[in-house]
């Protein structure tokens, strides 16, 4: 019985994977985040250095808990302003796995910021990327799948370069940005018997505002929109409350896809930990093998003089 259940779970996931691999043109999408508001540099290079000090963040996402080989994402990024000339630099590593496929992106970000007013900052960013792709067709041998797939040679460390760009504006209370992290429609691989996988441009729009409801309570609604050719428009809406500059709680909705609960805690003025849990509202979410998606982020800010800081940045 247990073996039958395990095979059913693997078969369900395999079906999802093959649906993407057998299309004539596959639109490669960037990794998905629920806590995008704390991981902005991954999607917009202009954010690099905008926190005003060296900042390091690590994020782990496990999607569709209960399905063997379901998507997993690990992200590590570091960014900082450089000197007093408005320059920011960043480095990101993103590892994304699903079933027999995995890809790793190494990103270097550059930003330049100008003052538009006493509080306003406008930043322009560039991103240079190196993508490494692995596809292990040999792992499909135990399933009854298309023989054309089983006969393929494994793809190991297929290298693809790319570039990206973004614009980001912020004050102490408001922020907005638009970006395309990967501009080149790079061909990952092509085969006479298996479809071509091509990188498609993902266009991001992100914005948010922080309201001081009273001396101890802040409210921040945010919006992330992602557009990519060959995929439905993705809209993420979230609303977070921060109490006493320490506790963060909120909810999010991914249009026609999932509801999420978000929780965060400022361990200190420099350390923040955030948790998110997604519950799918699609047909996949209705299966008894899908226990939702889990995400955790840890961020450390190297603040030189905590005593002179007015309050922790909410974005």
State pLDDT tens for residues 256-308.
Answer: 999 999 999 999 999 999 999 999 887 766 566 678 899 999 999 998 776 55
pLDDT at position 22 over 50: no
Poorest-pLDDT segment among 3-7, 188-192, 234-238 = 3-7
> Helix %, strand %, coil % for the chain, to 5?
15, 50, 35
Question: In the chain, where are the structural domains located?
Answer: 1-7+45-301
Q: What is the pLDDT of residue 144?
A: 53
pLDDT digits (tens, 9 = 90+) for 293-302: 999 999 999 9
What is 1-7+45-301's CATH number?
Answer: 2.40.160.40
Longest dimension (CA), the chain: 67
Question: Which of 132-136, 143-147, 275-279 has the highest mean predicted lDDT (pLDDT)?
Answer: 275-279
> What's the CA gap between 182 and 90, in Å, rounded?
16
Q: Report the SS3 class of residue 122.
A: strand
Contact 283, 293 (CB under 8 A): no
- Residue 18 exposure: Cα atoms within 13 Å on the Cβ side: 17
Q: What is the pLDDT of residue 309?
A: 61
CA distances from 148 to 22, 101, 152, 191, 197 (A): 10, 17, 7, 10, 16
The distance of Cα 84 from the centroid of its chain, to the nearest Å, equals: 30
């Amino acid at each position: 019985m247990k073996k039958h259940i395990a095979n059913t779970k693997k078969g369900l996931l395999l079906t999802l994977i093959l649906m993407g691999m057998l299309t004539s043109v596959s639109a490669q999408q960037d990794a998905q985040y629920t806590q995008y508001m704390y991981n902005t540099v991954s999607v917009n290079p202009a954010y690099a250095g905008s926190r005003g000090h060296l900042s390091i963040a690590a994020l782990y996402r496990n999607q569709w808990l209960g399905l063997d080989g379901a998507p997993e994402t690990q992200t590590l990024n570091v960014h900082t302003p450089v000197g007093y000339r408005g320059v920011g630099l960043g480095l990101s590593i993103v590892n994304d796995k699903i079933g027999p496929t995995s890809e790793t992106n190494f990103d270097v970000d550059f930003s330049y910021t100008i003052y538009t007013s006493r509080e306003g900052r406008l930043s322009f960013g560039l991103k240079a990327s190196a993508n490494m792709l692995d596809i292990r067709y040999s792992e499909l041998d135990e399933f009854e799948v298309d023989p054309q797939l089983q006969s393929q040679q494994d793809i190991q460390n297929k290298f693809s370069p790319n570039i990206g760009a973004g614009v980001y504006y912020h004050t102490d209370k408001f922020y907005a940005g638009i970006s395309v992290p990967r501009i080149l429609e790079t061909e990952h691989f092509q085969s006479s018997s298996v479809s071509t996988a091509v990188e498609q441009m993902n266009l991001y729009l992100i914005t948010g505002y922080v309201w001081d409801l009273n001396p101890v309570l802040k409210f921040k609604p945010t919006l992330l929109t992602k557009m990519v050719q060959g995929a439905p428009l993705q809209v993420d809406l979230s609303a977070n409350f921060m109490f006493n500059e320490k506790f963060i709680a909120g909810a999010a909705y991914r249009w026609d896809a999932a509801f999420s609960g978000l929780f965060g805690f400022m361990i200190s003025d420099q350390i923040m930990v955030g948790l998110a849990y997604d519950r799918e509202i699609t047909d996949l979410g209705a299966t008894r093998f899908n226990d939702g998606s889990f995400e955790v982020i840890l961020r450390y800010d190297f603040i030189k003089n905590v005593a002179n800081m007015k309050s922790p940045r909410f974005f």
